[in-house]
Amino acid sequence: MSAALVREVHALDANLALYEMITLQEQVNRTSPQLVAVTLVSILGGLALLLAGVGMTVTAMTACLLPAWCASRTDPARVLRD
């Protein structure tokens, strides 16, 4: 089969140099570590996005609720006298 492939490729372009012919399944098996790396990076990127969102939410809630909480614990009459 490889001789037939070489003959057909040379019929299309005689200047092409064929050095390795592998099946599609062999190519998929070779790229498997890349798939693991891409999956890992995707999971870590999603986790970073989630943590950033939670951090921003907590920061915003703290910036809004903390002054309101402090104001609610203050006696309005005392504030007006001072």
What mean pLDDT comes out for the span 21-34? Answer: 83
pTM assigned to the model = 0.50
Residues 6 or more apart whose CB falls under 8 angstroms from that of 2 comprise: 21
- Statement: residue 79 has pLDDT above 80: no
Which pLDDT score, from 0 to 100, does residue 58 have?
Answer: 92
Average pLDDT over residues 20-35: 83
Owning domain of residue 54: 2-81
Given a cut of 80, is residue 1 above it in pLDDT?
A: no
Q: Is 70 exceeded by the pLDDT of residue 38? A: yes
State the average pLDDT for the chain: 88
The encoded tokens of residue 64 equal 């809004």
Mean pLDDT of the 20-44 span: 87
Residue 14: phi and psi, rounded to 5, are: -75, -15
Count of domains forming the chain: 1
